[in-house]
Structure 1
Amino acid sequence: MNAIIPQAWLQERLQQPGIVIVDCRFQLGKPESGHTEYQESHIPGAVYLDLEKDLSAPVGEHGGRHPLPDIVDLSVTFSRAGIGNESIVVAYDDQGGAMASRLWWLLTYLGHEKVYVLDEGFTAWKQAGLPVTEEQTEVVPARFIATVQHSMLAEVYDVRDTLGTDRAVLIDSREAARYRGEVEPIDRVAGHIPGAVNRFWKDALDARGAWKPAVEQAARFDGIPQDAEIIVYCGSGVTATPNVLALREAGFTSVKLYAGSWSDWISYEGNPVAVGEEEERKG
C-alpha cells in the first residue's frame, strides 16, 4: 500500500478500531495557529501534534531550526497520543503534506510500518463535505517501542564525507531562489551545500494540491539511479520529508534525511557554501 491515502480510504475507516488520526497543521511564524484551527474543527477522532512542541527538540547550537527529538521523548509523545506499534496512523495538515510528512518520517524512522499521509489535507476534506467536528478526542494512551532505522538518517559528517565525491546525490528541497542563494528569508546564510541539486518539494503536488502518482514522482528525479544513495535536505528538515516520501513512492531504495538540513550545516564554521546552479551528473 502506498503511503499517500485518498479521502475515501479514511472516510470508510473513521470508526475502525486501531486507527489513530493525527492533525499536524502548523504555520511557520504562527506557531499557535495549528492548534487553534484544530480546536475549531478537525477530522473526528483526530489528536493534535505540534511541529515544534511535539515533533522537534528545543533549538540548540547545532541540529538546525527543528532538531530531531530525543528518541525516548518522542516514543513517550507517541504513546501519549495513543499510537502503539500496531496502530494504523493517518497524518494530515493544510500545508501541502509537509508537516504530515514529518510525522510520517519520524514514525517510519522509529520502525513504525503503518503510517500514511492523507492526500490533499484538511481543507479539501472539509470542502468535500466529509465529517468534521470541534469535539475534543479522548485519548487512550498506548505503548510505543522504537526500533530505530539508522539507515534513514544522515548526520552532518555524512554529508561532509560526500562532498566532491560520487558517493551520494544531495537533493535540496527548497525553492529555487533560496537554493541559488538569491534570497534567504529565514536562515542567516544564503546558498546551498556544494554539489546539491534542486528539487522543490512542492513539485510533488499537482495544480490542485494532490500528490502526483509514482510515475510522475519518478520523472521529477530523472537521471538519478534508483539504487543511488540519496541525501535529502531543506531549511530545517521538515519540507525535505515530502521529497523523501516521494522518492520512496517512486521506488528509490536508499534515501536518507539530513535532519538538521541547511540551518544545521551553516551552524558549523568552515562548512562550505555554494550559490547559483550546479551542473547535474546523470546516472
Structure 2
Amino acid sequence: MKNIVSLKWLLARMYESDIVIVDCRFQLGKPESGREAYKESHIPGAVYLDLEKDLSSAITEHGGRHPLPDIAELTGTLSRAGIGNASRVIAYDDQGGAMASRLWWLLKYLGHEQVFVLDEGFTAWQKAGFPVSADQKVLIPSPFFATVQHNMLVEVDEVQEKLGKAGVTLIDSREAARYRGEVEPIDRVAGHIPGAINRFWAEGRGADGQWKSAEEQAARFEGLAKDGETIVYCGSGVTACPNVLALQEAGFTNVRLYAGSWSDWISFPENQIAVGDEVALKGE
C-alpha cells in the first residue's frame, strides 16, 4: 500500500466527502509559526493539528521531548477534527514531510490504514498554482475508535534489552554530525545509542523535494535484513517517522518506532552512550 500521494492526486480528490486534509506545519523553536501560517493560507478544507499541542503530550522526566499523546486524548482530538474510521486522511507540512509523517505514524498506530503523506508539501502546492484559502473549515466531529497496534512501538527497556542482539537493526535518523556526537544543538548530551547505524531522515527525499521511489528507498537501507526487526529513533521521535515510512516503502516488514528516542534515552543515567561511526551493520 502506498503511503505518499502526489499534489495532482490530491487536487483531483480534495473535495471528495471522505477526504480529510490535515495541515501539520510546525517549526521547532517557533511553536506558533505553523498555526499562523495555516491561518494565513492553507489547502482549502484543511484542518490544523499542532505537533506539540495535539500530536504530543506534556514533557515529563522520561519519554523524550515529544512524548506520544494519551490515546484517549488523541482519539478525541481526531474526532473533533472530523477524522473518523472511514476517513481518508492526507497530511502535509512544509518541513520535508517530518511533521506529516508523525500524524501518519500515529494514525497507523491507532489502526487507521487510510492515511497518506502529501509529496513535496504546501509551498510546492502553492507554486504549482493549486488553490489555497484562509477560510477555516467548520468542523463536524466524527467518531474515531482506535485499535492500537502495540507492535509498532518500542519502549526504552526493550531497546536496552535488544542492544547488540542478532536480527535487530537500530537506526538513528538524525544528521550525521549529531549521530557521531560532534554537535548537539538540542539535547543535553551528544552521541548515539550503542550499535545504532545512521540513516539521515531527510535523505528519503531527492534534490527536487519529492520522496524517493521504493527502489531508491531500498538502496538507502541496502544490506539490512528486510525481515529482521528494525527499530528507528531520532532526537524526539518525530523525524524518525519519515524513516519508518521510507522503510515500509522499501519493503521492510517489521519496523518499530522508539518514540522517546535520544532525548528519552539520555534521561536514564545508566544508559550507555556511543560516539563516532559504528563499523558493523547490525541485523545482517
Confirm or deny a common fold (TM above 0.5): yes
Aligned-partner Cα distance in 1 for 2:281–2:267: 28
AA aligned opposite 1:21: I
Distance in 2 separating the partners of 1:265 and 1:131: 43
- How much identity, in percent, do the aligned residues show? 69
1:210 corresponds to: 210
Aligned amino acid, residue 81 of structure 1? A
Aligned partner of 1:140 in structure 2 is: 140
Number of the residue aligned with 2:12: 12
| Superposed counterparts of 1:269-280, under 5 Å | 269-280=269-280
Report if the CA contact (8 A) 2:197-2:281 is conserved: no
Q: How does 1:261-272 map to 2 (within 5 A)?
A: 261-272=261-272
Matched residue, 1:60: 60
Deviations 1:256-277 (A, max 9, x none): 0000000000001110000000
Partner AA of 1:236 in structure 2: S
Is this contact kept in 1: 2:195–2:278, CA < 8 A?
yes
Partner of 2:34: 34
Residue 233 (1) aligns with residue 233 (2):
yes
Q: Aligned letter for 1:33?
A: S
Count of residue pairs brought into register by the alignment:
283
Match of 2:88 in 1: 88
SS in 1 for 2:225: coil
1:148-187 equivalent positions in 2, closer than 5 A? 148-187=148-187
Gaps of 5+ in 2: none
Partner of 2:126: 126
Alpha-carbon distance in structure 2 between the residues aligned to 1:28 and 1:219: 30
Q: Deviations over 1:15-63 (max 9, x none)?
A: 1001100000000000000000000000000000000000000000000
Q: Structure 2 CA distance, aligned partners of 1:179 and 1:20?
A: 36
> 1:39 is paired with a residue of what secondary structure?
helix
Question: TM-score, normalization: structure 2?
Answer: 0.99
CA deviations over 1:199-222 (Å, ceiling 9, x no partner): 000000000111000000000000
CA distance in 2, matches of 1:220, 1:278: 16
RMSD: 0.7
- Structure 2 CA distance, aligned partners of 1:281 and 1:174? 17
